[in-house]
């Protein structure tokens, strides 16, 4: 059997790494080998945004790099489909495995189905309910086309059922991101915060505050257009951070390139970089970010993956969005995250609550570090039982078999 896996952007790397390791483990212990091809579309082409993740997570160099690079959503999707079609015609895989919700996920699932190749979507069923999010469009289309939908939680499985997805295409396997976290957690926690900060200071940036100890800092990521593209939204958040958060904690902030650009456009850069108890960093590698998250008093983020990490690590998480495709991470479902949007009064209220809360790690069902094994087994079960390559393959017994 030949499996072709696709990665396109940073969130994909943490999800595909354990799947590749699961294939390697299978090949070491079985006579029948799985041939695996890794395709990198090149959506994240900067070394800090891509190459370091391959190195840190022990992912082999991609067998094929499409070199798509940046562009509008339409440009990325269209160019990826053109180049990926050539790969499929050459490689002729039995399965294409896509992960997450980036443009590469959409483009490659559509192209594979047009070539009558089976598609497996890892992290299926996530829904924010916000069709204005490009990622939501990617999720909806990919899930509609995929033959095998591997969900990270039961809420996601239920989303698919409500949309009319046949039960025999849905398999609840758990969260593959947590496989990566558990594999690397001990190594990350042994790292020095001081070393992380000094290695990742932006060029020309002068550190103006002491490096904080664990539980004495807030950690933030901020990159979504809804938070950073309008000055009337971005500046009040910055004022809250500078005037209030820094009175309690040091703020460690790995700054996304988009956000750094807007900081300058809005005339806030000089004030922010000269403010005591704010530490600006370049975008971080996986281990650096995991280490900082494990010691943060509170996380402020508009990233989906960090909501999941915070749940396992017990870090109070203020999600700077009005919706989330990961409701399992919210307090009302037992998680560590709360939606605060970009309303400063709401952020302030939940920030004060977070400061008073003790760290409480939480582990949703099947977030146990073995999801990648269940993902591979699901594919193997389908391939063994249904070798007729029909359009959508029935797998009604899989959920009972795997859990």
The tens digit of pLDDT for each residue in 265-286 reads: 999 999 999 999 999 999 999 9
- We report the CATH number of the domain holding residue 306 as 3.40.50.2000
157 and 304 part of one domain: no
131 and 169 part of one domain: yes
109 and 237 part of one domain: no
For residue 42, the model assigns a pLDDT of: 86
Q: Cα separations (Å) of 46 from 104, 283, 291?
A: 16, 11, 22
For residue 387, the model assigns a pLDDT of: 63
- Report if residue 363 sits inside a domain: no
218 and 255 part of one domain: yes
Using the Cα atoms of residue 221, residue 226, residue 230 and residue 234 in order, give the sign of their dihedral: negative
40 and 88 part of one domain: yes
For residue 51, the model assigns a pLDDT of: 63
14 and 121 part of one domain: yes
Within 10 angstroms of residue 28's Cβ, the number of other Cβ atoms is 8
- Report if residue 381 sits inside a domain: yes
Round to whole Å and give the CA distance between 241 and 243.
6
User: pLDDT of the chain along its 403 residues, tens only?
Assistant: 999 999 998 889 899 999 999 999 999 999 989 999 999 998 755 555 556 677 788 888 899 999 998 889 999 999 999 999 999 999 999 999 999 999 999 999 999 999 999 999 999 999 999 999 999 999 999 999 999 999 999 999 999 999 999 999 999 999 999 999 999 999 999 999 999 999 999 999 999 999 999 999 999 999 999 999 999 999 999 999 999 999 999 999 999 999 999 999 999 999 999 999 999 999 999 999 999 999 999 999 999 899 999 999 999 999 999 999 999 999 999 999 999 999 999 999 999 999 999 999 999 999 999 999 999 999 999 987 666 555 444 444 444 445 4
392 and 318 part of one domain: no
Of 163, 266, 263, 158, give the one whose Cα is nearest residue 205.
263
- Report if residue 91 sits inside a domain: yes
166 and 233 part of one domain: no
Q: Give pLDDT tens digits for 3-26.
A: 999 999 888 989 999 999 999 999
- Report if residue 289 sits inside a domain: yes
Number of folded domains that form the chain: 2
162 and 243 part of one domain: no
For residue 396, the model assigns a pLDDT of: 42
Point out the catalytic residue in the list 40, 44, 223, 256. Answer: 223
Apex CA 106: angle with CA 110 and CA 329, to 5°? 140
For residue 39, the model assigns a pLDDT of: 97
Round to whole Å and give the CA distance between 355 and 242.
17
Of 279, 324, 332, 322, give the one whose Cα is nearest residue 306.
324
For residue 339, the model assigns a pLDDT of: 98
Reported pTM? 0.92
Domain of 275? 180-355
For residue 188, the model assigns a pLDDT of: 96
137 and 220 part of one domain: no
For residue 190, the model assigns a pLDDT of: 97
- Report if residue 361 sits inside a domain: no
335 and 256 part of one domain: yes
Any catalytic annotation for residue 223? yes
171 and 312 part of one domain: no
Residue 117: both structure tokens together: 């190749």
For residue 374, the model assigns a pLDDT of: 98
For residue 399, the model assigns a pLDDT of: 45
């Amino acid at each position: 059997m030949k499996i072709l896996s696709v990665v396109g952007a940073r969130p994909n790397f943490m999800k595909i790494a354990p799947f590749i390791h699961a294939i390697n483990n299978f090949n070491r212990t079985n006579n029948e080998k799985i041939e695996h091809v890794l395709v990198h579309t090149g959506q994240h082409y900067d070394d800090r945004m891509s190459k370091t993740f391959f190195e840190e997570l022990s992912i082999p160099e991609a067998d094929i790099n499409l070199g798509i690079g940046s562009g509008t959503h339409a440009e990325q999707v269209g160019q990826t489909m053109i180049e990926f079609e050539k790969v499929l015609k050459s490689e002729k895989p039995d399965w294409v495995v896509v992960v997450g919700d980036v443009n590469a996920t959409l483009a490659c699932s559509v192209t594979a189905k047009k070539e009558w190749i089976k598609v497996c979507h890892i992290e299926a069923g996530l829904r924010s309910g916000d069709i204005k999010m490009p990622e939501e469009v990617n999720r909806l289309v990919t899930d509609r086309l995929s033959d095998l939908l591997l969900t990270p939680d039961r809420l996601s499985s239920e989303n698919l059922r409500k949309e009319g997805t046949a039960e025999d295409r849905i398999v609840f396997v758990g969260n593959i991101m947590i496989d990566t976290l558990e594999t690397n957690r001990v190594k990350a926690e042994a790292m020095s915060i001081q070393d992380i900060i000094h290695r990742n200071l932006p060029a020309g940036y002068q550190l103006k505050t002491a490096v904080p100890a664990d539980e004495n800092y807030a950690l933030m990521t901020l990159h979504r257009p809804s938070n950073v593209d309008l000055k009337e939204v971005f500046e009040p958040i910055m004022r809250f951070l500078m005037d209030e958060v820094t009175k309690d904690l040091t703020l460690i902030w790995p700054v996304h390139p988009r956000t750094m650009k807007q900081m300058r456009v809005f005339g806030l850069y000089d004030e922010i970089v000269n403010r005591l108890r704010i530490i600006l960093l370049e975008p971080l590698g996986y281990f650096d970010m995991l280490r900082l998250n494990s010691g943060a008093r509170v996380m402020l983020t508009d990233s989906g993956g960090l909501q999941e990490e915070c749940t396992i690590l017990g870090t109070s998480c203020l999600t700077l969005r009005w919706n989330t495709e990961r409701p399992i991470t919210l307090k009302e479902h037992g998680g560590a995250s709360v939606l605060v949007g970009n309303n400063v009064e709401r952020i302030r209220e939940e920030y004060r609550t977070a400061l008073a809360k003790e760290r409480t790690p939480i582990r949703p069902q099947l977030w146990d570090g073995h999801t990648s094994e269940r993902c591979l087994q699901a594919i193997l079960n389908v391939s063994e039982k249904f070798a007729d390559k029909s359009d959508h393959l029935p797998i009604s017994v899989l959920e009972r078999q795997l859990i």
